[in-house]
Amino acid sequence: MIATNRLTYLAILISLVASGCASNVKVEYPTIPDPLIDKLPMDIALRIPDEFYDFSHEENVLGKETWTIQLGSANAMFFEQLFGYMFDNVVVLSATDDALDYEFDALIEPHIEGFEFSVPNQSKTDAFAVWIRYRMQIFDSAGNRASTWTVSAYGKSQKEGLGGSKSLRRAAVLAMRDAAALILLQMDKATKIGDLANGPLQVAEIASATSAQDEIFDEDDNIGIFAIGGIDDNGE
């Protein structure tokens, strides 16, 4: 009996020590406020990849601790809400749905291309920071790829409290909100998705989109399309 108790205490002690070196942060559904923009009059099919329903990322701070952030289905709900605000009609497709069974002006397929975060021990500041890079692929109603757009978003939150879990969660939500702002204000300009309301791409446009596609993949970062600290009206 005494031996069993000792083992229990030892197990508790080991789990306490182990949990001191690992932090697990779960991000709940990030709510986006109703935006002050006009909706685009389009029917959109949104294909949500499987990774958006169960996403997690782990960072090891060398010799110190391990941080895991679980986004779960936050990304799926985020894009459903975002495009619901942005377009007149949105139908959500799963990765296995056949798009040909649906009628739409454009199909959008977002992916997570990169996810990183830093904790105060790494950055030597008091802040948690999260970077998310989404790649948005846009297809016309005939299935031709119309454009690809990379969205790089950033969120930062200062450490509050002892653990920092709350701050990391807030930094992740701020990064998603940053992506939402960028998509709402720049997606039509960057991808010309609005033109697809007039019908699928013509043959010449398909060739042009493919060529532009190659250029985009050659670029390291196209975040410069949107000026930080104000509204970039060029081209409007």
Q: For residues 47 and 137, is the Cβ–Cβ distance under 8 A?
A: no
Structure tokens at 223: 């975040």
- Only one of the segments 39-47, 193-201, 202-210, 223-231 lies at the binding site for another protein (rule: CB under 8 A); that segment is 223-231
- Only one of the segments 72-80, 170-178, 190-198, 199-207 lies at the binding site for another protein (rule: CB under 8 A); that segment is 170-178
Using rule CB under 8 A, residue 32 touches another protein: yes
For another protein, which residue of 161, 233, 234, 235 counts as binding (CB under 8 A)?
Answer: 233
CA atoms within 13 A on the CB side of 46: 22
Distances (CA, A) of 221 to 31, 135, 151, 224: 27, 12, 9, 8
Using rule CB under 8 A, residue 154 touches another protein: yes
The strand ranges marked E within 96-230 are 106-118, 127-140, 145-158
Q: What is the DSSP string of 137-169?
A: EEEETTS-EEEEEEEEEEEEEE--SSS-HHHHH
- The DSSP secondary-structure symbol of 90 reads E
By CB under 8 A, the count of residues binding another protein is 28
Between 53 and 85, name the residue whose CB sits nearer to another protein: 85
Between 113 and 126, name the residue whose CB sits nearer to another protein: 126
Using rule CB under 8 A, residue 120 touches another protein: no
Between 32 and 46, name the residue whose CB sits nearer to another protein: 32
Q: What are phi and psi of 21, to 5 degrees?
A: -100, -5
Using rule CB under 8 A, residue 226 touches another protein: yes
Using rule CB under 8 A, residue 162 touches another protein: no
- Only one of the segments 70-78, 112-120, 133-141, 228-236 lies at the binding site for another protein (rule: CB under 8 A); that segment is 228-236
For another protein, which residue of 11, 12, 21, 37 counts as binding (CB under 8 A)?
Answer: 37
Q: H-helix or E-strand containing 218?
A: helix 203-218
Using rule CB under 8 A, residue 185 touches another protein: yes
Q: For residues 180 and 32, is the Cβ–Cβ distance under 8 A?
A: yes
- The DSSP secondary-structure symbol of 135 reads E
- Only one of the segments 36-44, 55-63, 87-95, 101-109 lies at the binding site for another protein (rule: CB under 8 A); that segment is 36-44
The site for another protein (CB under 8 A) is made up of 32-38, 125-127, 154, 156, 158, 160, 174, 177-178, 180-182, 184-185, 226, 228-231, 233
